[in-house]
Amino acid sequence: MGDFLAYIYPWTKSLHIIAVLTWMAGIFYLPRLFVYHTEKVTVGQETDALFQVMEMKLYRYIMNPSLIAVWIFGLLLVFTPGIVDWLTIWPYTKGAAVIAMTWFHMWLGARRKDFVAGANNRSGRTFRMMNELPTILMLVIVFSVVVKF
C-alpha cells in the first residue's frame, strides 16, 4: 500500500490542494453572505428565499464535497511513507487547525439552518468577527506545512 501511495503522491497532493482551495473559498464567502442576509434582508421577503438558495448551494454543493475531499486526500497524504515526521510539532498543529476549521464548517451549517427556520439571532458583526477565524487557522496550517517547525 505504501508503494502505491508514494506512486500517486503528486496526484494526491494536487487533489488535496484543489479541494482546500474550493473549501476555503466557501469558508470565506458563506459568512459574508450571512452578513448581508442579516443586515439587508427581512425574514419572509423574496430576497430572503434567494439568499437561502445561494447559501444552501454554496454549502451543500461546494463546501461539503470539498470538505470530504480535503479529509480523504489529506489522510492519504498522512499515510504516504516519508511525508509526515511525527517527531516534529507541525503535524499536530496542522491537525488541530484542520479539526478547528471543520468545526467552523459545521458551525456555518448550523447557522444556515437558523436562517432557513427564520431563527437567526446573530448580528452581522458576529458573522464578520467569526469570518476572521478561518484566516487565523489558514495561517497556522500553511506555516505548519511549509515551515515544518
pLDDT digits (tens, 9 = 90+) for 22-62: 999 999 999 999 999 999 998 888 999 999 999 999 999 99
pLDDT of residue 70: 98
Residues 79-88 pLDDT 10s: 999 999 999 9
- Average confidence (pLDDT) over 126-146: 96
- Does residue 2 have a pLDDT over 90? no
Separation between Cα atoms, residue 129 and residue 44, nearest integer Å: 26
Nearest Cα to Cα of residue 13 among 104, 74, 69: 74
30's CB contacts (< 8 A; 6+ apart) are 55, 58, 59, 63, 108, 112
- Average confidence (pLDDT) over 125-140: 96
- Does residue 1 have a pLDDT over 80? no
- Give residue 20's pLDDT band: very low, low, confident or very high (50, 70, 90): very high
pLDDT of residue 149: 83
Sequence ranges of the domains in the chain: 2-147
pLDDT of residue 114: 97
